Amino acid sequence: MRGIGGTKIAIVGAGNVGANVAYVMSIRYTCNELVLIDIDHKRAEGEVMDIRHGLPFLHEMDIYAGDYSDIKGCDIIVVTAGAGRKPGETRLDLAEKNCQIAKSMTESIMKYYDGGIILVVSNPVDVLTYHVSKWTGLPRGIVVGSGTVLDGIRLRTLLAEKFNIDMKNMHAYIFGEHGETQFPAWSFSKIAGFSIDDYCIASGIELTEQEKIEMAEKTRRAGAEVIKRKGATYYGIGIATTQLCNSFINDENTIRTVGCVLEGEYGLNDVVVSVPCIVGADGIEKILEVQLPPDEMELLHQSAAAVRSVIDLTKHI
């Protein structure tokens, strides 16, 4: 992270997700300089104007609609451009059209790229993170997929409601694809240091296997349920993306379930799925290999196979 003369972030894509990332960043004062880049320049200008009108109540921030030449000097480039998911459509259904968009966008970014982390948020995020990593040729860990960070928060929310305790006590993680084959790593989940089972004994509150299955399904279906009701999801991912960027900027060395191309970890190669990683100023600082039980390791490999099948189908792009 360079941070010389302040922090600069570019958001590529000024649709619902990109605009909400910009909005949350303006409230959190994530950076000094923020540029929105979109093929629809007037849309980007409108979003910038709308945010600017509220900034006098907050703080000074240099926010503007730009173009790919403004990639120069960025500490973080957030990629949100792409077609949105329609009701009934899975994230992987988006692969073909969004890979085409992402390839053109990556070529434009790399014309002006001179450093910084590339954070991929567009869906299907695992497939796009793989391709962007290959297209850019950057060292592993510089291109980061937002992964299952938001899914993990959704699971923690359900657990906090079940046990009626502060969500800060919850350390529960979603592994695998950001999509249909994701799963909670119950063996890696803790409540204030207790295993889930031990906490149930200590608290006298039972969490049955059926409830675990239902929580996993609610977590997996959460995005689709929002889309069914309001047509798109953008608030949650706007907050989660900003939090990730803060982790990079502040060199937090915090653990997040994000994605990069695996090279033997968990017995997986040349594929992207979300696993716990230490994230800091240089992107993914370290991939943490958790000793998963055989059943969860099998779920991770099944998830990786699902992502790999889509990667293979889109390699011609």
Active site residues: 178
Q: Is 45 exposed, middle or buried (0-12, 13-18, 19+ CB in 10 A)?
A: middle
Q: Beta strand 143-145 with 117-120: parallel, antiparallel or unpaired?
A: parallel
The whole-angstrom distance between residue 312's C-alpha and the CA centroid of its chain comes to 22
Any residues with CB less than 8 A from the CB of 225 and at least 6 apart, and which?
none
Contact indicator for 58, 93 with CB cutoff of 8 Å: no
Positive or negative torsion for Cα 305, 311, 315, 316: positive
> Would you list the DSSP string of 227-250?
HHHHS---HHHHHHHHHHHHHHHT
Tokens 């039980």 sit on residue = 293
DSSP run (H or E) holding 19: helix 16-28
Contact indicator for 41, 71 with CB cutoff of 8 Å: no
